[in-house]
Amino acid sequence: MGFEWNDFPQEIRLLIFEALIQDGCSLGPLATVSREWQMKIEQHNFARIKLTPSRLPELDSMTRRNRALVDYIWICLELEDYDCTGCKSCMWSVDGELVKGHAREYRDHGNVTGIMHYLFYILGTWDPSGHLTLDISIHSPSDSKHWFKYLTFMPDTPADKLVGRGGHSIEEMISNSTYHDPHHGWVAGVRHFAPPKHAFRRVFRTIMPWWAELPSVPAVTSLLLRQQTRRKWTEGSLALMVACFPRLEEIHHEPWRHKGSPWKPKDADFRHLVDALRRSNKSLKKLVIFENFNQRYPYPGGRNSVRSSHPASSWNLVMVSRRLEHLAASFVVDASHFFDLKSPKKTWPRLTSLVLTSNLLTPGTSSVETGAMLQAAAAAAMRMPKLEMMEIWNGRKGLAALFQYQAPRDIRPATITWRGTWELAMKPAVIQAWEAVVHLCGGWRLYLVREQVDEAVIKSHADAIHHLKLAGQVMRPISLLQIRAEQKALERLPMVE
């Protein structure tokens, strides 16, 4: 006796459909199976769109009937290819190649400007309802063909989807790649010498879009600027961009640390962006900023990877955070500056989670300074009536530290957790300050938890994030895997002097 498709329970039909999606087979022909499958296949195909400049003109017509199904657009801006001229000396060292290099940069700036204007013009006509994530990435296909074989360029992927075929994680698939290019230092998958500084400057150079204004795009509610984009936006360009999204609810920004003068990071870019958010984007609920770096890089933000942020940089961030529900700011401001309450008293009526970094969480730092910062954090928590979790952390090679406060909830008691590569002695005044927070929010007891982290397993700040088990999101899951995979590829790389 034969069975019709509709004879199967809906749960079984759904399992079969999900298995076909995971298998990676072509779904187009399957749309003819039934009206139900056609609808589900359209939902799957249109939910996440990868958009290249060549496909941009088709976006409007391609999505006109199913525009409501689009949740995520990844715009991949590919810069021009470059060759190996000058690889072993300085970039574009020959006069002819110098001219060619400048012309290439000029075209790149113009292309980025034109594409962004065109994209914003199209999206500006979309109905501002529901949620739409815009993920912007910039790279040159040549980046991974020369010195930086391990660089990957991927769409944003939810944490529960970071497993490829055969059960292997994306991190494993990247790390298991074998490169052989002796001209660029790679022999049988192992790097034998490091790139020259000009190679870093080429990959981390500035992109200068020439826009005075962009069309308003009310359809976009989430903006992703992930660490896989190593190029740097010019000062103020991001500020102009975010001002175009009046319904923006989330921003995930993962800039790379760039040198200032002399060889110190600047705060100007960060201040421009946060000031723009303070003056506009009243709908913003979640802000995640992670300044990435690599201690094995001579440029940018290499071995001198400790950022010395100015206290003034925290002021606008504090103002923005007062209307947020979630804030995570890693390596762009210090928690000690954020919690400085010498200014008029502030409240954070909506904030439920807060994640910050602090250089005071370092072995050898004055216990008085560290204790004062943690007490100031408790004083700020008293003004966060909806706070559920606060984390202050630090991480780099050989160092990982986390101070975590979790508020009482239902039958769960309030806890303070110290997790790190060394032991932090919390003075009674610190404990008392946080007990006052617990009592204010209706709790009756504060538990202390201490956990040790093996210093030997912390090869980078990304390893610190992994082993500290941060509860708050400090960066996109795919970004964390990319950083850890890059670190593994560089573990045998000689340091650059």
Per-residue HEC secondary structure of the chain comes to: CCCCHHHCCHHHHHHHHHHHHHHCCCCHHHHHCCHHHHHHHHHHHHHEEEECHHHHHHHHHHHCCCHHHCCEEEEEEECCCCCCCCCCCCCCCCHHHHHHHHHHHHHHHHHHHHHHHHHHHHHCCCCCCCCCEEEEEEECHHHHCCCCCCCCCCCCCCHHHCECHHHCEHHHHHHCCCCCEHHHCEECCEECCCCCHHHHHHHCCEECCCCCCCCCCCCCCEEEECCCCCCEECCCHHHHHHCCCCCCCEEEECCECCECCCCCECCHHHHHHHHHHHHCCCCCCEEEEECECCCCCCCCCCCCCCCCCCCHHHHHHHHHHCCCCEEEEEEEEEHHHHCCCCCCCCCCCCCCEEEEECCCCCCCCCHHHHHHHHHHHHHHHCCCCCCCEEEEEEEECCEEEEEEEECCECCECEEEEEEECCCCCCCHHHHHHHHHHHHHCCCCCEEEEEEECCHHHCCCHHHHHHHHCCCCCCCCHHHHHHHHHHHHHHCCCCCCC
Residues in the chain: 497
Which amino acid belongs to residue 154? Answer: M
Strands 222-225 and 232-233: unpaired
387 in Cβ contact with 381 (< 8 Å): yes
In angstroms, rounded to a whole number, what is the distance separating the alpha carbons of residues 228 and 18?
29
In angstroms, rounded to a whole number, what is the distance separating the alpha carbons of residues 11 and 159?
24
Encode pLDDT of 24-61 as tens digits: 555 556 555 556 666 666 666 678 899 988 889 989 88
Predicted local distance difference test score (pLDDT) of residue 447: 95
Q: Give which of 124, 140, 143 is closest to 132, Cα–Cα.
A: 124
338 in Cβ contact with 314 (< 8 Å): yes
206 in Cβ contact with 256 (< 8 Å): no
Does the structure show a pLDDT above 70 at 235?
no
* pLDDT band at 239; cut points 50, 70, 90: confident
Does the structure show a pLDDT above 80 at 17?
no
Predicted local distance difference test score (pLDDT) of residue 92: 40
Whose tokens are 């206290």? That residue is 311
Predicted local distance difference test score (pLDDT) of residue 105: 63
Distances (CA, A) of 191 to 124, 337, 424, 485: 46, 40, 38, 14
Does the structure show a pLDDT above 90 at 6?
no
- Among 243-247, 312-316, 341-345, 389-393, which is the least confidently predicted range? 341-345
Question: What is the CB neighbour count within 10 angstroms for residue 205?
Answer: 16
Does the structure show a pLDDT above 90 at 85?
no
Higher pLDDT, 212 or 169: 212
112 in Cβ contact with 77 (< 8 Å): yes
* pLDDT band at 497; cut points 50, 70, 90: very low
Distances (CA, A) of 137 to 21, 180, 206: 26, 27, 14
In angstroms, rounded to a whole number, what is the distance separating the alpha carbons of residues 232 and 369?
34
Encode pLDDT of 482-495 as tens digits: 998 888 777 755 44
Beta bridge partners of 409: 412
320 in Cβ contact with 354 (< 8 Å): no
Higher pLDDT, 449 or 148: 449
Average pLDDT over residues 65-71: 86
**Phi, psi torsion values for 29, nearest 5 degrees:** -60, -25
Predicted local distance difference test score (pLDDT) of residue 302: 53
Handedness of CA 17, 20, 24, 26 (dihedral sign): negative
Which amino acid belongs to residue 262? Answer: P
Distances (CA, A) of 260 to 228, 254, 265, 268, 349: 21, 18, 5, 10, 36
C-alpha count within 13 angstroms, C-beta hemisphere, residue 275: 12
Higher pLDDT, 67 or 435: 435
Which amino acid belongs to residue 170? Answer: I
pTM of the model: 0.86
Which tokens is 465 given? 């994030």
Which tokens is 337 given? 């500056």
